């Protein structure tokens, strides 16, 4: 899509340059962004309410950090992460979200760090590369997240995740399944985040909490406020 050169504020983010920190947490749910700002950050200033996609900047243990919702799916994450990187200078983008488990040993309310992101969508292919790009996280952020989780005593898994364009769907008979390939969990945004970060040479990591399993589904309120372990680990990376 052709467009004029972007400047701040953008069509989707109302902030001025300098109002967003280099490290930003990116929950899909804007109410989770508000919860983090109100409960973990000090000296908070709201920088965005456009499309009700709330964004805030404050400090965590004296370090500047921002948090903003991104909505659902790779296209939405692609828009917000692109603008945050290229217009607002974000260097460390940490998605904190929920996911459905794909493995029996990955249980509800446990964390998954997305080392790589498979995808059923076309976002990665639209980069025009002469082959298949494998979106992976920043090892620097991953290493810090694992160390933080160990220090805090939290249960976590590290491995491949799936960014799906379908929330409600069934497995189709394509042969091998994602669980058979060792994929840990399914969500909807990380492949776009990792692709944009790689193209720009910045750091990105997806930290997920398992919200859905074969025998348990968490509530919307739990997703907004109760998954505090991933919030603490993500904030430790600032």
The catalytic residues are 212
Q: Are 55 and 20 in contact (CB under 8 A)?
A: yes
Is the peptide bond prior to 9 cis by the omega test (within 30 degrees of 0)? Answer: yes
Q: How far apart are CA 73 and CA 56, in angstroms?
A: 21
Q: Are 31 and 63 in contact (CB under 8 A)?
A: no
Q: How far apart are CA 204 and CA 82, in angstroms?
A: 12
Q: What is the pairing mode between strands 63-68 and 92-101?
A: unpaired
Q: Determine the Cα angle at 18 with ends 1 and 58, to 5°.
A: 115
144 contacts: CB under 8 Å, gap ≥ 6: 236, 237
Q: Are 163 and 187 in contact (CB under 8 A)?
A: yes
Q: How far apart are CA 80 and CA 148, in angstroms?
A: 27
Q: Are 118 and 191 in contact (CB under 8 A)?
A: yes
Q: State the number of CA atoms in the 13 A half-sphere of 116 facing the CB.
A: 11
DSSP H/E element including 143:
helix 139-152
């Amino acid at each position: 899509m052709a467009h004029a050169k972007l400047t701040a504020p953008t069509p989707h983010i109302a902030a001025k340059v300098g109002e967003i920190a280099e490290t930003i947490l990116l929950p899909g749910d804007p109410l989770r962004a508000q919860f983090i700002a109100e409960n973990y950050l000090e000296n908070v200033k709201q920088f965005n309410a456009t499309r009700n996609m709330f964004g805030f900047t404050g400090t965590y243990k004296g370090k500047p950090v921002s948090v903003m919702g991104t909505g659902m799916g790779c296209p939405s994450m692609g828009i917000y992460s692109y603008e945050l990187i290229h217009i607002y200078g974000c260097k460390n983008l940490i998605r904190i979200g929920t996911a459905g488990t794909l493995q029996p040993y990955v249980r509800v309310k446990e964390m998954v760090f997305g080392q790589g992101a498979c995808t059923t969508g076309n976002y990665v292919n639209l980069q025009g590369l002469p082959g298949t790009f494998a979106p992976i996280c920043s090892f620097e952020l991953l290493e810090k997240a694992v160390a933080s989780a160990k220090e805090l005593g939290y249960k976590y898994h590290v491995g491949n995740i799936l960014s799906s364009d379908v929330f409600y769907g069934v497995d189709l008979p394509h042969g091998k399944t994602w669980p058979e390939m060792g994929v840990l969990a399914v969500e909807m945004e990380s492949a776009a985040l990792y692709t944009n970060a790689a193209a720009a040479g910045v750091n990105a990591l997806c930290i997920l909490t398992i919200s859905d399993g074969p025998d348990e589904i968490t509530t919307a309120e739990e997703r907004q406020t109760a998954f505090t372990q991933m919030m603490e680990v993500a904030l430790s990376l600032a």
